[in-house]
Structure 1
Amino acid sequence: MSLWTWFGLKEGCASTDWPLKGDDDGQPGVLGMPRYDPAKCQPQCDACAQACVTHAISFGAPQGDAAKPEVDWGRCIVCQRCTEVCPTGAFVESTDWALGVSERRDLRQGEAAAEPAARKATGRTRRPFGRSLHIRHVDAGSCNGCESELQALNNPFYNLHRLGIFFTPSPRFADVLLVTGPVTKAMRGPLLETWEAMPVPRWVIATGTCAVSGGVSGGNYACGNGLDGVVPVDVYLPGCPPNPAALIHALLLIVGRAEQRMRGGRIER
């Protein structure tokens, strides 16, 4: 018996039972997305907006001294600069990791959430994929941060296959197109070719802040502002990068085995 075989038998199963049962998602104590409490904002303070490099925090039309910043978590790269410069604690650190949503507006704090009836109808159309799902991943200009988290899905702890979810090298066998990166001009064509080669029905996950909104480099001479306007998006998952638990939650949203937990920019406990 080899040493590794003996070691494996001695240690037993290393895979987590989450999300089927338990709460060991492998992310305890990990710094997550900042959280924002508008009630704590100081009048005429724009320190957070000045510090935000992706304009996730901005001010709309002037509303006098009581104007509050607007927050778009779809643009957040989790740099924590807002928590460092905020003088009143309106922005604070949290362990809440990024969450996938089916409507882009659900990532904007303060906007109305998507209609529940519309979400239920979408869920019904995905029920045939409840037992199995095949993913084709396309890197459309990512820095490879998202790819490092995607690789973790196949490690012994997360063991994505136990959930009936698999990666496939061919778009012709794929149910889901998982895209990372802001969609560079060089990758726009190959991305569209991959999308067109997939059988119908097919679903798309914008993975990471770059794919959701363009991130830090979005809108420059070489790339766009994410997937919107390129292919239809079914799940928006921000984060820089989103961790493996967030990726699993987004995938389970597609097959109707998880509930959306963020609406109007707020997490529902």
Structure 2
Amino acid sequence: MALWTLIGLAEGSASTSWPFGTGPDGQEGVIGMPRLDHTKCATGCTACIDACPTGAIRLNAAEPVLDYGRCVVCQRCVETCPTGALSETHDWAFGTRDRDALRTARTQSVTPDSARSRRGFRRSLHIRHVDAGSCNGCESELQALNNPFYNLHRLGIFFTPSPRFADLLLVTGPVTRAMLDPLRRTWDAMPEPRWVMAYGTCAVSGGIAPDGPCLSGLEGVLPVDLYLPGCPPNPAAIIAALLMFLDRRPVQVDQGHLDGR
């Protein structure tokens, strides 16, 4: 018997019991999305708007609106806010099926959900990942899903190299023009029913590279069914988003607030 087999048997399971047990999620102390309390904003103050590199904070009828789909979690808004209206949090589970739910103020109706078509996939899901111009930050988090701690396979979720066996197309990066055709051909090769996940702020909205050779994310390129902003979203956030999409965990974010906070 190999030495590492003996060591593994002696150590026991290294996988966390989260998300269905009380074990750790591996994200203790991780800085999450900033929180906006517009009631603390000073009249005429635009410090956070001027500091944000992605335009995630904008004025809507003189009230600031924070769009987490554009946020890269740089914390510049928190650092420059003179009144404490923006504060640091540890909130990271921002996966949603509704793009508008990532904004602190709704601007349109809720996107209809297709839960009925996912009924046969709640216990098993195969994912095809396409890097559409990522900096590889998102890829480093995706790789962690298969380590012993997270052990994604125990949840019935797998990555597949072939789009013909995939149920979900997971896209990273702001979608460069060079990757547009390969991305669409991958989508066309997937069997029905099929879904798309925009993973990371770049895929959701273009991130810090919304112009030039990029297309500002998947908006208008493919029909997105699952959004997960962040730069990059951590492994626990990916798991939480996928399980939420499969109706195995409750929806946690609405109108830019996590679990009602």
Taking structure 1 as the reference length, the TM-score comes to 0.92
**How far apart in 2 are the matches of 1:100 and 1:2?**
41
Tell me, yes or no, if the aligned pair for 2:56 and 2:71 is still in contact at 8 Å. Answer: yes
Letter in 2 for 1:260: V
Deviates more, 1:17-26 or 1:236-245: 17-26
Q: Which residue is equivalent to 1:22?
A: 22
Aligned to 2:191: 199
- Tell me, yes or no, if the aligned pair for 1:103 and 1:114 is still in contact at 8 Å: no
Residues of 2 paired with 1:108 and 1:151: CA distance? 29
Change (3 A) 1:105 1:115: closer
Match of 1:59 in 2: 59
What is the match of residue 69 of structure 2?
74
1:172 deviates by 0.2
Identify which range, 52-61 or 131-140, moves more after superposition: 52-61
Contact 2:201 2:231 in 1 (8 A): yes
Residue pair 1:98, 1:239 contacting (<8 A) in 2 also:
no
Q: State the partner residue of 1:244.
A: 235
Contact kept, 8 Å, 1:15 with 1:159, in 2: the verdict is yes
Instruction: Give the conservation status (yes or no) of the 8 Å contact 1:16–1:158.
Output: yes
Question: Structure 1: which 4+ aligned runs deviate by more than 6 Å?
Answer: none
* Residue identity opposite 2:41 in structure 1: C
Q: Contact 1:113–1:263 (CA<8 Å) still a contact in 2?
A: no
Residue 103 of structure 1 is matched in structure 2 by 98
Matched, 1:172 2:164: yes
Aligned residues: 260
Q: 2:12 aligns to what?
A: 12
- CA RMSD in angstroms comes to 1.6
Amino-acid identity (%):
63
Amino acid at match of 2:98: E
Does structure 2 retain, via aligned residues, the 8 Å contact 1:111–1:265? no
Report the secondary structure of 2:170's partner residue.
strand
Shift of 1:125: 1.9
Within 5 Å, which residues of 2 pair with 1:99-248?
Answer: 99-111=94-106, 115=110, 118-119=112-113, 122-218=114-210, 220-248=211-239
Matched-pair contact (CA < 8 Å) for 1:149–1:243: yes
Offset of residue 36 of structure 1: 0.9
Structure 1, unmatched stretches of 5+, are 62-66
Aligned to 1:262: 253
Structure 1 CA distance, aligned partners of 2:153 and 2:255?
32
How high is the TM-score relative to the length of structure 2?
Answer: 0.95
Tell me if the contact between 2:100 and 2:110 (Cα under 8 Å) persists in the aligned partners. no
Question: Partners of 1:109 and 1:268 in 2: how far apart?
Answer: 13
SS, match of residue 74 in structure 1 = coil
Letter in 2 for 1:265: G
Q: After TM superposition, give the deviation of residue 112 of structure 1 in Å.
A: 6.3
- How many angstroms apart in 1 are the aligned matches of 2:258 and 2:101? 10
The CA distance in 1 between the partners of 2:109 and 2:243, in whole Å, is 19
Whole-angstrom CA distance in 2 between matches of 1:185 and 1:178: 18
Q: Distance in 2 between matches of 1:34 and 1:221?
A: 28
